[in-house]
Copies of this chain bind each other. A is one copy, B any other.
Amino acid sequence: MESNMNNIERPVLAVDVVIFGIIKDSLTVALNQRDSSPFKGALALPGVAVRMDETLEVAARRALAQKAGWPVDIIDEIMLDQLATFDALYRDSRGRTVSVAYMGIVPESFIYSEKTIMKPFDEIPRGSLPFDHNLILETAHNRLKGKMRYTNIARKFLSESFRIEELQNVYEAIFKRSINRANFRNKLLKINMIEQVKVLTRAVGKKGGRPPHLYRFKRQEIETVDRDFI
């Protein structure tokens, strides 16, 4: 914080947004095609420069509206987490730009716009995105995995109620390993993270069998599952 706030040349401040979702048991990322240079036509994370009178989070939502073409009422439902700030001197060829990255999660029921594609995370090779967007995406992925370990953030991938198998799929898609069904269920119930909803679902286009139970998260808030180191 400096006394001097006059018109010295300053870095431009921007935001970039990483939106994750699970589609068909795979982790996916919202990307949009750039409509101007540099990297015109390339797939990139939605982002905008921050205006004088808006917070970073408001700017991030504006990026989702203007760049990704998402409806405002849906954007309002998404919780955005500040990720990190990226500041390499030449990260943007147009001039010194510092970008604050945000991360959000949408459920599979989300309606996509024509301007956005949800691309499977595993099909985005390193170096394939413009600017430092691969670095931002990697940071977001690590943060996502971290938050999955000690919060109930997984709920944001699903709708209000869900089959327990769907929830397990979320964990398996993100951690890329299979989890024992019985132990998964026992643990989440024991720590009181989820509870059973009374009704059973109707058939979901499956052949036959017992209709699955529905569950929901007991708390809305992202709650820390605290662990002591020692």
Contacts and interface: CB of A to CB of B under 8 A. Distances in A.
A10 B52 contact: yes
Contacts of A14: 1-2
User: How many A residues touch the partner, as a band?
Assistant: 35 or more
A3 B36 contact: yes
Give how many copies assemble into the complex.
Answer: 2
Interface in A1-36: 1-5, 8-14, 16, 36
Given A87-B56, A171-B230, A228-B149, A12 B16 contact: no
Given A50-B98, A89-B55, A227-B227, A12 B3 contact: no
A95 interface: yes
22 contacts: A1-B16, A1-B48, A1-B131, A2-B49, A3-B37, A4-B49, A5-B49, A5-B97, A8-B52, A10-B10, A10-B49, A10-B50, A11-B52, A13-B13, A50-B98, A56-B85, A56-B87, A56-B98, A82-B84, A87-B100, A149-B227, A179-B230
Given A1-B131, A5-B97, 18 more contacts: A1-B47, A1-B97, A2-B48, A3-B36, A3-B37, A3-B94, A4-B49, A5-B49, A8-B52, A10-B12, A55-B87, A55-B89, A56-B87, A56-B98, A149-B227, A149-B229, A171-B230, A225-B229
Interface of A: 1-5, 8-14, 16, 36-37, 44, 47-53, 55-57, 82, 84-85, 87-89, 92, 94-100, 131, 148-150, 171, 175, 179, 183-184, 187-188, 225, 227-230
Q: Which 10 A/B pairs are nearest by Cβ-Cβ distance?
A: A2-B49, A1-B47, A149-B229, A56-B87, A3-B36, A9-B52, A85-B85, A85-B100, A5-B95, A1-B14
